[in-house]
Amino acid sequence: SAVISQKPSRDICQRGTSLTIQCQVDSQVTMMFWYRQQPGQSLTLIATANQGSEATYESGFVIDKFPISRPNLTFSTLTVSNMSPEDSSIYLCSVDQEGGETQYFGPGTRLLVL
C-alpha cells in the first residue's frame, strides 16, 4: 500500500486565520480524498481531488472555505480558510488504490482553533 504523509501533524491556530495542510504520497495515484473527523465523530468526506481538474465537493462543503490543490499525481493540499473553533477537527487525506476498491489514509492533521 502507498505511504502517505501529512504536514503539519498538528497545529493550534487563531480564529480568522487560514491553514494549509499538505498530503504527500510515495507513488502516483489518480484520486485523493480529504476527510474531516470532528471530535468524537466519524469521518466525513470533504472533497475528491483529481489531478488536472477541479475538486469535487460534498454537500455542506464549499470551495471558498476548503480550497484544494492537486498539482500532480503525488501531492495535494487542503486549506481551511477563515477558521473558527468549529473547524477544530482531524483532517485526513486518503488515496485510492486497487482500482477503486480500497482507500488508504494518512496519519491526519490535528487542528485546534482558538
Partner 1 sequence: AQSVTQLGSHVSVSEGALVLLRCNYSSSVPPYLFWYVQYPNQGLQLLLKYTSAATLVKGINGFEAEFKKSETSFHLTKPSAHMSDAAEYFCAVSRGTYKYIFGTGTRLKVLA
- What is the contact surface with partner 1 in residues (CB under 8 A)? 1, 4, 6, 31, 33, 41-45, 48, 92, 94, 96, 100-108, 110
DSSP of 44-111: EEEEEEETTS--EEPTT--TTTS-EEEEETTEEEEEE-S--GGG-EEEEEEEEETTTTEEEE---EEE
95: left (phi over 0), alpha (psi -120 to 50) or beta: beta
Residue placing its CB nearer to partner 1 in the complex, 19 or 92: 92
How many C-alpha atoms does 86 have within 13 Å on its Cβ side? 3
Residue placing its CB nearer to partner 1 in the complex, 71 or 107: 107
Residue placing its CB nearer to partner 1 in the complex, 81 or 97: 97
CB of 82 to partner 1, least distance (A): 26
CB of 102 to partner 1, least distance (A): 6
Residue placing its CB nearer to partner 1 in the complex, 85 or 100: 100
CB of 65 to partner 1, least distance (A): 20
CB of 103 to partner 1, least distance (A): 6
Measured CA to CA, the distance from residue 34 to residue 66 in angstroms comes to: 10
